[in-house]
Structure 1
Amino acid sequence: MTVYVAAGGPRVEFATLSRLGCREQNEDACGYWTSANGACFVVCDGAGGHGGGEVASETAVRTMLSAYSSAPSLTRDSIERLVAQADSAIRYGQGLSSPLRRMSATVTSLFFDEAARQAQWVHVGDTRLYLFRRRGCRQLTKDHSVVQSFVDAGVLQEDMVRGHAERNLLFAALGVGDELPAQALDTPFEVEEGDAFLICTDGFWEAVREYEMSEALLHANAAEEWLVRMEKLIVDQGSPDQDNYSALAVWIGNPNEITVRWDVHVPVMREF
């Protein structure tokens, strides 16, 4: 667990975890950068075989953190350029080694201004970003997946996404295709005291449902404890097919104190 106090802003606490699951290699990667000028949090899920997934995810994390730290900005254009730079870095790496030629990665990143009063986010693939506010859960990202397109077309219920046979088929990732669907918000959004953010790979959110995330938040006293409580749900399932799973939690102030002031109903808010 790490804490920093934003310039003239709230206390920001964050924690990460990244586990192997039942795979031979962990192809997920997490990273963060904080300073008096802002903050950036990144989670990636790599793919490609022969170690390519690990290289792709680490390349994306390093590239985005380096680029953002050199010129922090929450404008849409600057955030989308970060994704383009990460994509270019992975494509460059593909040409350096034959085993890496098919490497790719999903990415989701959350950014704060210097006072942690405003935030931006961007994503490619199915690594998700959730916002928990006053016991409401908002999935801010929408998966770039074939199954999500079924949901959008009205041929599949949203609660059937987890465990669907084609859920892992993505139509967008870093290092794949000629166009990236990554879109940052037109303008940053306001952060509130008590907000809790969760960035997590599909290995994590497939095993932990949104109401379980909210319930774990209610009983956690720190961002790290929140992750530990959710990880226990994954471990207790004991799935022999458990994928790598990674998550990064960011607390603005004390979310658990804010949540207990609200009733026991946990709404899932779809629109941001």
Structure 2
Amino acid sequence: MTSYLATSGMTIEFATLSRQGARDYNEDACGYWTSEQGACFVVADGAGGHGGGDVASETAVKTFLMGFSTQPSIEKNQVDQLLHQADSAIRYGQTLANQLKKMSTTVACLFFNDDARLAQWIHLGDTRIYLIRRRTCTLLTKDHSLLQRFIDSQMMSENIAQNSVARNILYAALGTGEEVYFESLDTPFPLHEGDAFLLCSDGFWEGMDTEAMVAALSLAGSAEEWLIRMEQLVLDRNSATQDNYSALAVWVGGPNDITLSLNANDISKLSMDMI
């Protein structure tokens, strides 16, 4: 289901999906909070098994949404504090039942200010945030994984690393009992008319590539349709072994209109070049 938020600045459209896949239960969670004071969108991917992962991810999502709704600020110190609050809530929950003592979760959260002119994000683990702006798709976050460290250190190429067992080994998650390692922006960045954001767990982005994200956007008439088109690609590639997968799409204005317009311009330019 697609939802809308009209602010004094721009119209925001958003949609979510979260599926169990081929697993026994779904440990992902996602949610949002919107008002005239701002907006908060969050996706979390839990781990721990025996019910612990779903509790951790739900706890993270609820903590972010409740905290932001109480004080809707997108300044770095405020969003950093929300992450620490989520970590504390999960670590407290670990003490309540034996099956929860090892629960943990990744998280990615996107924030807009009151008139949807500025954005901020924070993330931990391998839950990602992508931005598509005028047909260019940018991965805003960098995975906190052993795989990413191998790539950064040039110990192996990205193509080889994708098939390594290191791809699923994380060095940052909420509830690990260690120092919380995360990333957020020092200052918010300006939003543009036509920006499209995708927040998603690894079960979703592992079955996608940035070109497919942009192509699906150009064909979609709504944020919900964009997710549905991408979901079909994910299932086509990984249906037999599909992990839990969750995604949250956020449109600022009409991203597909701009993408289609740019496609038309490209076709026109190509035609001129052939003359």
TM bucket (normalised to shorter chain) is over 0.9
Query: Using a 3 Å threshold, how does the CA distance of structure 1 residues 162 and 210 change in structure 2: closer, same or farther?
Result: farther
Partner of 1:11: 11
**C-alpha distance in structure 2 between counterparts of 1:14 and 1:162, whole Å:** 30
Count of residue pairs brought into register by the alignment: 264
Partner of 1:133: 133
3-state SS of 2:165 partner? coil
Matched, 1:2 2:11: no
Q: CA deviation at 1:261?
A: 2.5
Secondary structure of the residue that 1:3 maps to in structure 2?
strand
Structure 2 CA distance, aligned partners of 1:14 and 1:75? 22
Q: Which moved more, 1:163-172 or 1:250-259?
A: 163-172
Q: What is the match of residue 251 of structure 1?
A: 251
Tell me the CA shift for residue 239 of structure 1: 3.3
Q: 1:14 to 1:140 in 2, by over 3 A?
A: same
Between 50-59 and 256-265, the greater mean CA deviation after superposition: 256-265
Matched position secondary structure for 1:33: strand
SS of the residue corresponding to residue 148 of structure 1 reads helix
Q: Is 1:162–1:206's contact at 8 Å kept on the other side of the alignment?
A: no
CA distance in 2, matches of 1:107, 1:146: 17
Give, as a single letter, the amino acid of the residue that structure 1 aligns with 2:71: A
SS of equivalent to 1:197:
strand
Shift of 1:160: 4.2
* Residue in 1 that maps onto 2:191: 191
1:104-140 Cα shifts (integer Å, max 9, x gaps):
0000000000100000000000000000000001100
Q: Where does residue 113 of structure 1 map in the other structure?
A: 113
Tell whether 2:140 aligns with 1:146: no
Partner of 1:96: 96
**Larger-gyration structure (1/2):** 2
Q: What displacement does 1:205 show? A: 0.2
Residue of structure 1 in register with 2:73 after alignment: 73
Deviation readout 1:130-189 (Å, 9 max, x if unpaired): 000000011000000000000110122234454432211000000014212223211100
Supply the distance in 2 between the matched residues of 1:55 and 1:199 (Cα, whole angstroms): 20
Q: Does 1:38 align with 2:33?
A: no
TM-score scaled by structure 2?
Answer: 0.93
Alignment of 1:135-174 (within 5 A): 135-174=135-174
Q: Answer 1 or 2: which has greater helix percent.
A: 2
Structure 1 residues without counterparts, runs of 5 or longer: 266-272
Paired with 2:153 and 2:189, the residues of 1 have a C-alpha distance of 28
The one-character-per-residue Cα deviations of 1:203-251 (angstroms, maximum 9, x if unpaired) are 0000111111111011111100000000111222353211000000000
Indicate conservation of the 8 Å contact 2:94/2:100, yes or no.
yes
**Which secondary structure state, in structure 2, belongs to the residue aligned with residue 262 of structure 1?**
helix
TM-score by length of 1: 0.94
Output the CA distance in 1 between the equivalents of 2:164 and 2:41: 29
Structure 1 CA distance for aligned equivalents of residues 196 and 65 of structure 2: 21
- For the pair 1:124 / 2:124, whether they are aligned, the reply is yes
**3-state DSSP class of the match of 2:243?**
coil
**Which residue number corresponds to residue 56 of structure 1?**
56
Q: List runs of 5+ in structure 2 lacking aligned partners.
A: 268-275
Secondary structure of the corresponding residue to residue 179 of structure 2: coil
Q: Is the 8 A contact 1:44 1:61 kept in 2?
A: yes
Determine the C-alpha separation between the residues in 2 that align with 1:170 and 1:37.
34
Computed over aligned residues only, the root mean square deviation of the Cα atoms, in angstroms, reads: 1.3
Shift of the 165–67 alpha-carbon distance from structure 1 to 2, 3 Å rule, reads: same
For 2:82, the equivalent position in structure 1 comes to: 82
The one-letter code of the counterpart of 1:227 is: L
Output the amino acid matched with 2:209.
R
